[in-house]
Structure 1
Amino acid sequence: MAPSFTARIQLFLLRALGFLIGLVGRAALVLRGPKFASKTPPPVTEPLLLLSGMQLAKLIRQRKVKCIDVVQAYINRIKDVNPVINGIVKYRFEEAMKEAHAVDQKLAEKQEDEATLENKWPFLGVPLTVKEAFQLQGTILLFLAT
């Protein structure tokens, strides 16, 4: 069954909007210059950044790596890469370092063995970021009826 006239108009308008957004994006890259358009993040040089979350957690639980060193490695990487990718909007580096120090202190007390720590907190000391999305006042949401 062929789409209705209204659905075809909506699809046409949606495609036109996408095309215009693409043009604006490309124009913004041209206006900001070729350096911005072709910039790539620097390569990873810190070995800790190449380990999985599970590997990092295990090394931290075994006290072979300090949590504060892991967090500092990630902070350094964010500072290197974020100007290129703009992936982190709000920095909370000081808080992260305080939390990492608290983890290292807890582990230094040696009140729990590695198995207990893994069971209670499988990713204790492993840094993570969370993408948050909020609808902001003044933004436009489009709902197309089909």
Structure 2
Amino acid sequence: MSRASNLRRRHILQAFAALPLVAALPARAAESLGFNELYGKVSVLGLSFSDKVKTLAGQRVTVNGFMAPPLKAEAQFFVLTEIPMALCPFCSSDADWPDNIIVVYLNERQTFGPPGEPISVTGALDMGSWTDPETGFVSRLRLRNASFQVG
């Protein structure tokens, strides 16, 4: 290596050494979202999403609620409800979509325990009418790549 290359290299290294160290930023905590914050005004067209939901779409959120009885003992999705339910609130279209349920898509298939216990679910908020091609389940709100904790 030539003397000019060594000097250039030394100057570059000194310049980097003079830069302030930036600590890694901690992961941003998921925003909390309540069932009472999902929808805005009711119009002749039905329910409209709240401004908070529109702002948080695509971001990780945490919602507390109850797991509705799943359609199968082992699945990769379930329905999160505001109150404990005895039956799965399966809807045929989003026109009659209740305002107190969210479909939760987990990272992997799981076996579920008995419903009725409070849970906390965190996942990426997805909004808008969507039909699951595998199940035909129609939803207006979803949490994708989600995980949950009992209690």
Same fold (TM over 0.5): no
Which structure: greater helix fraction? 1
Which structure: greater strand fraction? 2
TM (norm. structure 1) is 0.21
User: Which structure ranks higher in relative contact order (CA pairs < 8 Å, sequence separation ≥ 6)?
Assistant: 1
